[in-house]
Structure 1
Amino acid sequence: MSSSCDPQHAPAGDVGAALMMIDSRLKSVYDGTTETDAEQRLLVEQFIASLGPGEAEDVLDGTCTLIYMFMVWLRKAHEAHDKDVIEYVVPTLVASMRMMPKSVGPEAIPTMAGLVVAAGTGLSPSLWRKQYGDWTEAEMTPLEATAFLLAEQINRITDDHDFATRMIAEALTRADEG
């Protein structure tokens, strides 16, 4: 039986724009040129402000698609070692977010953990979240942080700073060709 949160019913969104934001954040962290939270927030706000009417929602959906794709990869990697992805990914994610109180308020952590659990169990994070109403302003940075933290975890597992970004870029290229 199909769920109303099945990924096949979810809009993919603007995965390219979402990936660009996450890749930019990853590069700044790996290069040691991290900006302050205020500066980063301003850049994100300027980018979002430059989007047309439906484009901001497309970036949100694209970020959820990234989270889903990252969790599919993480689930397969953990299953290859007879481990449960939820058991290993969610506690690390929550602990990391708790260490980011300026960027991720404690009230957003359960929602972000829920998105990751939804994705880890094969549900669309975007559709799962929409069950509970519209996105809030307070969830924007935590959503980006969630995608970033998952990408960073994949990069650590593979010992390759570009693996997560390259994996998605290659998937997008294959989708365009097919």
Structure 2
Amino acid sequence: MSSPCDPSEAPVGDVGGALLMIDSRLQAIYDEKAEVDPEYQRLLDQFAASLGPSGLDALLDGTCTLIYLYMKWLRLACEAHDQDVIETVVPTLVGTMRKMPQTFRPEVIPIMAGLLISSGLGLSPSLWRAQYGRWTDAEMNPLEGTAVLLAEHINRMSNDRDFATRMVTDALSGADKE
């Protein structure tokens, strides 16, 4: 029996645009001299506004696709060590979210945990989230933050600051060739 949240039924979205945003956040984290740049935030806001509703939906779907890909990689890595991704990864990331109240308000943490768990179970996070209505403005930063936390977790596991980004770009390059 197929699930209504089967990843094969989910829109892929703008994975390239989402990856660009996530990677730029990661690079800002890794640059110890970086400060919160209001100009950069203004440009990101301007970029998001220029997308229009369909472009923004594609970016949201692309971010969910990244979350799914990252959790799939983590699930395979955990299974290789006889561990469960939900038991191993989700509590760590949720704990980190709780320590970041400006990005993750308490009321959005269950939604972000649900995205992680749905992906960990092999379900589409965007289709899982769609069951509960449209995305809210309050969920935008936490969604991006969740993807950044996953990518950074993968980078730490692989001891390579660019591994998560390279993994996706390699997959996209392979898909382009097919």
Shorter-chain TM-score bucket reads over 0.9
CA apart distance, 1:42 = 3.3
CA contact (8 A) 1:37 1:102 kept: no
CA apart distance, 1:35 = 3.6
CA apart distance, 1:37 = 8.2
Which amino acid in 2 is paired with 1:144?
E
Q: 2:77 matched to which residue of 1?
A: 77
CA contact (8 A) 1:68 1:124 kept: yes
Structure 2 residue 108 is the aligned partner of structure 1 residue 108: yes
Structure 1 residues 109, 34: CA separation in 2 closer, same or farther (over 3 Å shift)?
farther
Q: Greater shift after overlay, 120-129 or 88-97?
A: 88-97
User: Which stretches in structure 1 are left out of the alignment for 5+ residues?
Assistant: none
Which amino acid in 2 is paired with 1:55?
G
TM-score by length of 1: 0.96
Q: 2:10 matched to which residue of 1?
A: 10
Query: How far does the alpha carbon of each residue in 1:98-146 deviate from its partner, in whole angstroms, 9 at most, with x for none?
Result: 1111111110000000000000000000000000000000000000000
CA distance in 1, matches of 2:40, 2:3: 37
Give 3-state SS (helix, strand or coil) of 1:75's partner: helix
User: Which stretches in structure 2 are left out of the alignment for 5+ residues?
Assistant: none
CA distance in 2, matches of 1:157, 1:6: 28
CA apart distance, 1:177 = 1.0
Q: 1:31 matched to which residue of 2?
A: 31
Structure 1 residues 41, 104: CA separation in 2 closer, same or farther (over 3 Å shift)?
farther
What is the 5 A alignment of 1:13-162?
13-36=13-36, 41-162=41-162
Give 3-state SS (helix, strand or coil) of 1:50's partner: helix
Q: Greater shift after overlay, 67-76 or 95-104?
A: 95-104
Question: Runs ≥4 in structure 1, deviation > 2 angstroms?
Answer: 33-44
Structure 1 residues 68, 4: CA separation in 2 closer, same or farther (over 3 Å shift)?
same
TM-score by length of 2: 0.96
Give 3-state SS (helix, strand or coil) of 1:52's partner: helix
Give 3-state SS (helix, strand or coil) of 2:89's partner: helix
CA apart distance, 1:151 = 0.3
Which amino acid in 2 is paired with 1:117?
I
RMSD of aligned Cα (Å): 1.4
CA apart distance, 1:53 = 3.4
Q: Greater shift after overlay, 136-145 or 94-103?
A: 94-103
CA distance in 1, matches of 2:84, 2:105: 27
Which amino acid in 1 is paired with 2:175?
A
Percent identity at matched positions?
Answer: 63
Which amino acid in 2 is paired with 1:118?
S
Which amino acid in 2 is paired with 1:54?
S
CA apart distance, 1:40 = 5.8
Give 3-state SS (helix, strand or coil) of 2:104's partner: coil
CA apart distance, 1:157 = 0.3
